[in-house]
Amino acid sequence: MTDASPLDAAERAVQVLGAGRLPEEWAATPLTVVMPTYNEAGNLPGMADALLTLPLPGLSLLVVDDSSPDGTGDIAEEHARRHAETSGRRRMSVLHRTEKDGLGRAYAAGMAHAVAEGAHYVLQMDADGSHPVAKVAELLGVALATDAGVVVGSRYVQGGTLSDAWGAHRKLLSRWANAYAGTILGTRVRDITGGFNLWRADAVRAVDLGSVDSAGYSFQVEMKYRAVGHGLDVMEVPIHFEDRTVGESKMNLMVQLESVVMPWKLRFRGAGASGGADGARGGRPGTRG
Ligand SMILES: Nc1nc2c(ncn2[C@@H]2O[C@H](COP(=O)(O)OP(=O)(O)O)[C@@H](O)[C@H]2O)c(=O)[nH]1
Ligand SMILES: [Mg+2]
């Protein structure tokens, strides 16, 4: 990892991952999955079980619930009690917040908490099954094998795909929203709006969560823009993005408006993005996009 270029390291990572399992010492890396929930009672238990049965003993799950009226917070709490500790770290815990305060605020609180508790890596992940559990080890492996501060589970690099349940119109809208933010901000991160992102702890500290402006979904864009501005390497690994089958999307007009305005705000404020898009790498690990 020290004497090879990031490119060689990424190629090695892909070889290791091709074996289907991370080496033991990598699998034990303290990794916290931060999962914001609002009315995800039908999704959360299955997601938690899928994550906690991965061959990743270092993985902990932190649910950030905004007092969901459907009782997601209590269900998560009960589930957490059933999962035992490993080597002193709780496998699952819940951060309860008093009111619905937006996806971005929930992530900021959860990621700060995870890093303060000693996580070496933090993974952002939705509770609705859109993000593939089977890719978690690969994201971690790529992060460990390279200098990447952020590894993006990407819908928009070669090999990335969108749910077949999405019609052409919705796919186009998603692509357009991604291109909109990326073009205004001049970044080469291909999936800048995506929400399945692995962060190295020092990268989380570098972006300074306390000063993040976005309350809602534009958090994803703002965080990656900040990462690039701080000179962190951003790598993208292709994923298949599934449509949610249970529960409802929390996307609303306010959230959409914030996402339209935020790229302009960030661009004109600078947001410490002096490095522009340099440092962003697209494509499979080992390729430059
Ligand atoms: N804690 C919290 N979680 C939220 C909030 N808004 C959305 N979420 C969660 O964020 C994730 C993504 O939201 P989702 O509605 O699936 O967004 P979509 O995929 O863009 O339609 C899900 O796990 C939601 O439950 C919020 O205000 N607070
Ligand atoms: Mg969703």
Structure confidence by residue, pLDDT tens digits, 256-271: 999 999 999 999 886 5
Domain around 60: 6-269
* Ligand 1 lined by 37 (C-beta under 6 Å): yes
Mean pLDDT in residue range 196-225: 97
As a whole number of angstroms, the distance between CA 89 and CA 154 comes to: 29
* Residue 194 covered by a domain: yes
CATH number at residue 137: 3.90.550.10
Angle among Cα 197, 161, 252 to the nearest 5 degrees reads: 65
Kindly give the pairing relationship between strand 31-37 and strand 59-65.
parallel
Please say whether the beta carbons of 126 and 44 come within 8 A.
no
Distance 115 CA to ligand 2 centre (A): 25
From 123, 221, 241, 250, mutation site for ligand 1 pocket: most ligand atoms within 8 A of C-beta: 250
User: What percent of the chain is modeled with pLDDT above 90?
Assistant: 77
Nearest-5° angle of CA 91, CA 94, CA 97?
165
Give the pLDDT confidence score for residue 121 in this predicted structure: 98
Q: Is residue 280 domain-resident? A: no
277 CA → ligand 1 middle, Å: 28
Residue 225 lies in a domain: yes
With 60 as the cut, is the pLDDT of residue 286 above it? no
Q: Is residue 286 part of a domain?
A: no
If one counts the domains in the chain, the total is 1
Average pLDDT of the segment spanning 272-283 = 42
**CA end-to-end span of the chain, whole Å?**
22
Answer whether residue 278 is part of any domain. no
Q: What is the model's pTM?
A: 0.89
| Contact assessment for residue 115 and residue 121, using Cβ atoms and an 8 Å cutoff | no
Q: What is the mean pLDDT of residues 217-232?
A: 96
Q: What is the mean pLDDT of the chain?
A: 89
Q: Is 284 inside any structural domain?
A: no
